[in-house]
Structure 1
Amino acid sequence: MELIRMVGMVLASFFGVRKRANHEADLANVNMMLLPFVAVALALVIGLLIVGVVELIVDGTSSVQGF
């Protein structure tokens, strides 16, 4: 359950949709040693998802002649 809470907290921080009071309450209840690892892992997952979507789009348009 703590891992899910950390994932939600990190995702909300990435996108900036968290209220300050909720953020401070979460910081008081999480394991600060694991938080950087969760943040880096989520950043990698989001980055790979973006690269994957771009690859799908580029691959679909690569058959256009003249380019």
Structure 2
Amino acid sequence: MELIRMVRIVLWSFFGVRKSASHEADFAKVNFSLLPFVAVALAALVGGCILGVVMLVAHSTGTVQGF
């Protein structure tokens, strides 16, 4: 349950919009020693997804041109 809370905190911070009351409530119950690791893992996951979509689109357009 704590891992889900940390993932939610990190995803909200990526998005950047949050009410201060819920922000303070989440930070009152979180383990700060694991939070940077969750943030780095989620950043790598989001970056990997973006890279995968770009590679998929770039690969499909390269075969359509016939080169």
User: How does the TM-score come out when normalised to structure 2?
Assistant: 0.91
SS state at 2:37 partner: helix
Instruction: Give aligned-pair identity as a percent.
Output: 62
Matches of 1:34 and 1:54 in 2, distance apart? 31
| Structure ranking higher in helix proportion | 2
- List gaps (5 residues or longer) in structure 1: none
Equivalent residue letter for 1:13:
S
Q: Does 1:50 align with 2:50?
A: yes
Q: Which residue of 1 aligns with 2:19?
A: 19
Q: Provide, for residues 15-34 of structure 1, a one-character-per-residue CA deviation record: whole Å limited to 9, x for no partner.
A: 11321111111111100000
Matches of 1:53 and 1:10 in 2, distance apart? 22
RMSD, aligned α-carbons = 1.2
- List gaps (5 residues or longer) in structure 2: none
Equivalent residue letter for 1:61:
T
Q: Which residue of 1 aligns with 2:61?
A: 61
